[in-house]
Chain A
């Protein structure tokens, strides 16, 4: 078994990013200890195929009363989970959560004055198919102000939690929406060192997948770490 390609920590946000104030006291000051991945990191949790409920990937309806639906622009979010070698990552769990169309989260510690939508819970989950594709439907989340400086607003975004097949691949990130001017003003987005890195988290409007008179669509691919390859190996896809 060969290990994973080391993570490029210059591509990810550093731990200490003073523009995002909460990071100041939550960032380790020692450098992380680097060592090669072992079986403890190259293995990962396995989820049962029958775990998903029929509405887990439909945030428009999974918290709504019968016959009702969440308020907001209806969208499809679709894409692929790949590894750094370009191989699809099949049968992996993707969890998502987001604010409602007014920018309000359903959470007891959330105090933004925008109203809750009684038909919107804000979470969903899907499993990628054998080719690494996933798709879910939701409403477009709204932007919202947050307590950092008094001038800071989050761009519209959806949080993603992805497992891959190894604990070394575990990743949480956020998807942004093409054309949102708030992307370039956000201190959390700005923790990513490069413009190219930021752009890799911006989903493209995809009219080819829009449903006429129903939903717009956005495409968002996710790349997880890949295993080092040897020349003559023949490994199952995604492993």
Chain B
């Protein structure tokens, strides 16, 4: 026997289940009168600096079916590359949550294009938005990142994108501009277009 380490075990994850919207977006679920509004509905709360963009996308399962019971959260830096709570733009929360469209499952985030954030060794990361996806059938919330397809130079220098072994999968992380500030970022849980998910 050896001495015991004073380290606790993280609480094991369990699926968010089919009714995650009751807990996280109750107004969306029709449970009104408890909270004034669902958290994460508005990321821009005032005159935030930067380019206004809209992120749209759908989460697909391995059979190609769109999920309508997912909860998608995003976390990102402001236009200057700073995070809320760490000197970021006071009119920008950096955090959004979407239950998706009731009929199609499409999520939407009205946000600003993030600035570059440093990597621990001082290099710059390409502009990106961190995604977290939970749903029925997902046992541990899935982390991924959305980069911008129109940021070729920055993406080529990015510490993560540039070290990916399966570089042919990089397009799964790139949001495609559709004009008028709209970027499309579809997520595939499985199959030929499976999104790269991150163990962070």
Q: How far is the CA of A172 from the CA of B16 in the complex (A)?
A: 6
Q: How many cross-chain pairs have Cβ atoms below 8 Å apart between A and B?
A: 264
Tell me the minimal C-beta distance from B145 to chain A in angstroms: 8
Specify the chain B residue showing the minimal Cβ separation from A198: B12
Q: Please name all residues of chain B whose beta carbon is closer than 8 Å to the beta carbon of A78 when the two chains form the complex.
A: none
The answer to whether A15 and B29 touch (CB under 8 A), given A41-B130, A84-B7, is: no
Q: Which residues of A, 11-26, contact B by the 8 Å Cβ criterion?
A: 11-15, 17, 20, 22-26
Q: How far is the CA of A40 from the CA of B200 in the complex (A)?
A: 10
Q: Which residues of A, 184-203, contact B by the 8 Å Cβ criterion?
A: 188-189, 191-192, 196-198, 200-201
Q: Which residues of B, 78-92, contact A by the 8 Å Cβ criterion?
A: 83-86
Q: Which of A68-76, A128-136, A211-219, A220-228 contacts B (4 or more CB under 8 A)?
A: A220-228
Q: Please name all residues of chain A whose beta carbon is closer than 8 Å to the beta carbon of B190 when the two chains form the complex.
A: 25-29
B189 interfacial contact with A, CB 8 Å: yes
Is the CB–CB distance between A17 and B12 below 8 Å?
no
Is the CB–CB distance between B19 and A46 below 8 Å?
no
Q: How far is the CA of A197 from the CA of B11 in the complex (A)?
A: 8
Tell me the minimal C-beta distance from A142 to chain B in angstroms: 14
Is the CB–CB distance between A123 and B22 below 8 Å?
yes
Is the CB–CB distance between A121 and B138 below 8 Å?
no
Is the CB–CB distance between B75 and A172 below 8 Å?
no
Q: Please name all residues of chain B whose beta carbon is closer than 8 Å to the beta carbon of A170 when the two chains form the complex.
A: 73, 132, 141
Q: Please name all residues of chain A whose beta carbon is closer than 8 Å to the beta carbon of B197 when the two chains form the complex.
A: 28, 30, 32-33
Q: Which of B30-38, B47-55, B149-157, B177-185 contacts A (4 or more CB under 8 A)?
A: B30-38
Besides the known contacts A30-B197, A33-B196, 5 further A-B residue pairs in the complex with CB atoms under 8 A apart: A30-B169, A97-B19, A110-B19, A161-B20, A226-B8
Tell me the minimal C-beta distance from B11 to chain A in angstroms: 5
The answer to whether A34 and B199 touch (CB under 8 A), given A26-B190, A63-B34, is: yes
Q: How far is the CA of A2 from the CA of B23 in the complex (A)?
A: 33
Q: Please name all residues of chain B whose beta carbon is closer than 8 Å to the beta carbon of A85 when the two chains form the complex.
A: 6-8
Interface residues of A (CB under 8 A from B): 1, 3-9, 11-15, 17, 20, 22-41, 43-47, 53, 55-56, 62-63, 82-86, 95-97, 105-110, 121-125, 159, 161, 167-168, 170-174, 188-189, 191-192, 196-198, 200-201, 222-226
Q: How far is the CA of A55 from the CA of B36 in the complex (A)?
A: 12
Is the CB–CB distance between B139 and A14 below 8 Å?
yes
Is the CB–CB distance between B194 and A30 below 8 Å?
yes
Per-residue interface assignment for chain B, residues 161 to 200, with 1 indicating a CB less than 8 Å from any chain A CB and 0 otherwise: 0001010010000000000000000000110001111111
The answer to whether A25 and B19 touch (CB under 8 A), given A45-B93, A86-B8, A121-B34, is: no
**Sample (8) of A-B pairs whose CB atoms are under 8 Å apart:** A28-B190, A38-B125, A62-B34, A63-B33, A63-B34, A107-B22, A171-B11, A223-B10
Q: How far is the CA of A109 from the CA of B20 in the complex (A)?
A: 12
Most buried by A among B19, B63, B86, B139: B139
Q: Please name all residues of chain B whose beta carbon is closer than 8 Å to the beta carbon of A63 when the two chains form the complex.
A: 31, 33-34
The answer to whether A39 and B117 touch (CB under 8 A), given A85-B7, A170-B132, is: yes
Q: How far is the CA of A108 from the CA of B21 in the complex (A)?
A: 11
Is the CB–CB distance between B198 and A36 below 8 Å?
no
Q: Which of A121, A172, A188 contacts B134 (CB 8 A)?
A: A172
Is the CB–CB distance between A26 and B23 below 8 Å?
no
Q: Please name all residues of chain A whose beta carbon is closer than 8 Å to the beta carbon of B140 when the two chains form the complex.
A: 9, 12-13, 15
